């Protein structure tokens, strides 16, 4: 019985050595993860290559400038927008610019309360 177990252990050990004997495998190239960020504000200046927005941060306002990958359509100065951007070579590059449309508020009407009456 001990002989069968030792032979089985040797076979398992040999199967574990096969991947090591093949040599080193090439490592997959590591991809750098790009962090996408968002900022919201009001458009103060708009050109074909840049957009500037004014945003409020903790009781103060700051103007942030983004370079555009492609010209934006349907956006004009004074619109409230959301900008999704990444940082390339130390420059903020806007990937997506969308208008910030507030959600519609639904008015609820209250039904008049009927006083509770007891049956007679």
What distances in angstroms separate CA 55 from CA 62, 75, 87, one per listed residue? Answer: 6, 16, 18
Class in CATH terms, 37-99: mainly beta
Domain locations along the chain:
37-99
Cα 93 off chain centre by: 15
pLDDT band at 3 (very low <50, low <70, confident <90, very high): confident
Higher pLDDT, 101 or 98: 98
Phi then psi for 98, rounded to 5 degrees?
-130, 150
Give pLDDT, residue 15: 75
Cα 41 off chain centre by: 18
pLDDT tens-digit profile of 51-90? Answer: 999 999 888 999 999 999 888 888 999 999 999 999 998 9
């Amino acid at each position: 019985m001990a002989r069968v177990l030792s032979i089985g252990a040797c076979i398992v050990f040999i199967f574990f050595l096969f991947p090591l004997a093949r040599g080193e495998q090439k490592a997959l190239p590591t991809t750098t993860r790009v962090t996408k960020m968002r900022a919201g504000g009001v458009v103060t200046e708009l050109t074909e290559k840049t957009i500037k927005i004014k945003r409020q941060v903790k009781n103060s306002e700051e103007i942030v400038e983004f370079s555009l990958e492609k010209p934006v359509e349907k956006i004009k100065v004074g619109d409230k927008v959301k900008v999704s951007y990444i940082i390339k070579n130390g420059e903020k590059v806007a990937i997506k610019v969308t208008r910030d449309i507030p959600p519609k508020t639904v008015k609820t009407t209250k039904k008049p309360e009927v006083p509770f009456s007891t049956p007679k």
